[in-house]
Amino acid sequence: MGTSLYKLLLLATVVSARRRNAPHRSASDAFFNYHNADTNSTVIVDLKSRLTALEAKNGQLKERLMEQDGRMNARIDSVETLAQAVLSQLNQHLHDENTKQVSFHATGLSNLTPSEGAVLFPTNVLNNQGNGYNPSTGKFTAPFNGTYCFLATLWGDGVDHYIAVYLMVDGKQELFVETTFGRDGDSDAASLQAVVDARAGQSVWLQVLFDSNQFSPYPVSNSFSGFLVSYDP
């Protein structure tokens, strides 16, 4: 019996010691642990919310960048289109300058004493770029719309004669020159120059007034010429 009692006392002492050494968890410790777990969950939820907001802002920024990129591309396309149009106009202008060149120069007259209202016929064609001048009619026909310059040099010869000449543009009297050399001598000269707008198909020629005109027989004393100043599309 004494030995058994001793063993029971020893066992009770060991159990008591173990209880004293075991960690003690109070109600406050339990509350803290619960609160700490709740805080961690709140932080995680907040981080997820912020991440979602950042992703939304990132998406908005991407959309704005795409819109700006689209606008920039549209502006670039517009500038390129304008540049192509200007280049096309420049090429067309250069083409017009190279291909729409018109000039003529003819001397000599087949009719030295023309009748009243007759057209003068310079027949010696020295230049006819663009083939606008017709020596068989004495008329220049504009191949293109534009501004043209016309010139004429006329030499009169003979006593009691004169020269009186119109520059006619499509039947309209554009310019008139006259000299009465026959009263004081036996020869004289007159010249005319005019810059006129002419449409394609309109004709220009020299036409005498009255019937007492008499011109010098020298081939180079009388001339009719003209050229295109500027092309009008």
Same domain, 114 and 216: yes
Domain-embedded: residue 90: yes
- Is 161 in contact with 214 (CB distance < 8 Å)? yes
In terms of residue numbers, what domain contains 60?
A: 27-99
Closest CA to 205 of 165, 232, 178: 165
3-state secondary structure of 214: coil
Same domain, 126 and 187: yes
- Is 106 in contact with 126 (CB distance < 8 Å)? yes
Rounded to two decimals, what is the model's pTM? Answer: 0.58
Residues 6+ apart with CB under 8 A from 197: 146, 147, 148, 232
Domain boundary among the residues 99, 116, 131 is at: 99
CA atoms within 13 A on the CB side of 118: 17
233 residues of the chain, pLDDT tens digit each = 555 555 555 556 554 555 555 555 555 554 445 455 556 667 676 777 777 877 778 888 888 878 887 777 878 778 788 878 888 877 766 666 666 789 999 999 988 888 889 999 999 999 999 999 999 999 999 999 999 999 999 988 777 677 889 999 999 999 988 877 655 556 778 899 999 999 999 999 999 988 778 888 888 889 999 999 998 87
Domain boundary among the residues 45, 77, 99 is at: 99
